[in-house]
């Protein structure tokens, strides 16, 4: 399990103590774009799905180290609204991987006090998968450890569009007045309405773009774009990124006095 020696990440929360006695806050909410599975597999002469299976195994390790790093919320991008453009073989392989992962991991996650939620549009997903997602959310609803959110058929623009539709319906029915709509209102309609905004967004595989992930929520997030391909990502690397986060100066648009 990762331990960072100088700016040590405490297991009690996201506070990091430095050698000069200062306290640095680690990220409470980490969001990850798990990229590079395909290239990882191709580099080994294997089909892309081989990389997705290796990537799925990484998810468990990362979830497990969260309490030690003071990460209370972990949000991972598993399938985007744009991923339907991939080949049918890859799409069905991924869907079957999600079904298997949820059935297999359900009891283990529940036992480890992990609370699982899904964000994204469920309409296009098959009924069996949606049932498993509902069951896993239900099964872990009382857990108070790490909050794991899995983005599945998720797109930031799609989420804002769906939220706006619901908000417009409330305005049309008179439940909400246009004059009361401000930037506190829309987030209440987003899939993530019960989650805090991410403090740190990580993208693996050397690509420096956000690909429609948590567009509204990441307005003030710190970003880390790292070269590691997702199946090679380790809890040690996550610990290093958490430590680096603690050294950042987050001003949220204000000027330091």
Binding site for ligand FPP (CB under 6 A): 34-39, 48, 52, 55-56, 59, 76, 78, 83, 97-98, 101, 150, 205, 230
Closest CB to ligand FPP among residues 52, 72: 52
Closest CB to ligand FPP among residues 129, 241: 129
Q: Which residue is closest to ligand FPP by CB?
A: 38
Q: How far is the CB of 56 from ligand FPP (least distance, A)?
A: 4
DSSP string computed for 4-32? -SSSEEPTTSSEEE-TTS-EEEPPSEEEE
Q: Give Cα separations from 47 to 53, 86, 147, 203 (angstroms).
A: 11, 14, 32, 22
Closest CB to ligand FPP among residues 154, 230: 230
Q: How far is the CB of 12 from ligand FPP (least distance, A)?
A: 28
Q: Which two tokens stand for residue 252?
A: 């949220």
Q: How far is the CB of 42 from ligand FPP (least distance, A)?
A: 7
Q: How far is the CB of 132 from ligand FPP (least distance, A)?
A: 12
Catalytic residue among 7, 20, 83, 135: 83
Angle at 112 between CA 106 and CA 116, to 5 degrees: 50
Closest CB to ligand FPP among residues 39, 244: 39
Q: Give Cα separations from 60 to 35, 66, 70, 74 (angstroms).
A: 16, 10, 17, 12
Q: Which of 214, 174, 211, 207 is nearest to 190 (CA)?
A: 214
Closest CB to ligand FPP among residues 8, 122: 122
Q: How far is the CB of 209 from ligand FPP (least distance, A)?
A: 11
- The reply to whether 83 belongs to the active site is yes
CB half-sphere exposure, 75, CA atoms < 13 A: 25
Q: Are 118 and 99 in contact (CB under 8 A)?
A: no
DSSP string computed for 202-217? EE-TT----TTSSTTT
- The reply to whether 68 belongs to the active site is no
Catalytic residue among 7, 20, 35, 68: 35
The catalytic residue positions are 35, 83
């Amino acid at each position: 399990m990762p331990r960072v020696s100088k700016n040590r990440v405490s297991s009690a929360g996201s506070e990091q103590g430095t050698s000069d006695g200062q306290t640095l806050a680690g990220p409470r909410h980490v969001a990850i774009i798990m990229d590079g599975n395909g290239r990882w597999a191709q580099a080994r002469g294997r089909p892309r799905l081989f990389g997705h299976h290796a990537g799925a195994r990484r998810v468990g390790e990362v979830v497990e180290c969260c309490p030690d790093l003071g990460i209370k919320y972990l949000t991972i991008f598993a399938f985007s609204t744009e991923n339907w453009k991939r080949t049918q073989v890859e799409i069905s392989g991924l869907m079957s991987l999600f079904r298997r992962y949820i059935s297999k991991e359900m009891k283990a996650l529940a036992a480890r006090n992990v609370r699982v939620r899904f964000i994204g549009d469920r309409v296009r997903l098959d009924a069996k998968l949606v049932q498993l997602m509902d069951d896993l959310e239900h099964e872990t609803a009382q857990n108070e450890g790490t909050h794991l959110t899995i983005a599945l058929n998720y797109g930031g623009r799609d989420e804002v569009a769906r939220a706006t539709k619901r908000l417009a319906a409330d305005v049309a029915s008179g439940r909400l007045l246009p004059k009361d709509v401000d930037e506190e209102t829309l987030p209440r309609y987003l899939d993530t309405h019960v989650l805090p905004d991410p403090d740190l967004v990580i993208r693996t595989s050397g690509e420096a773009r956000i690909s429609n992930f948590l567009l509204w929520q990441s307005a003030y997030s710190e970003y880390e774009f790292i070269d590691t391909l997702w199946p090679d990502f380790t809890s040690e690397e996550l610990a290093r990124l958490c430590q680096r986060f603690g050294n950042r100066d987050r001003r949220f648009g204000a000027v330091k006095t």
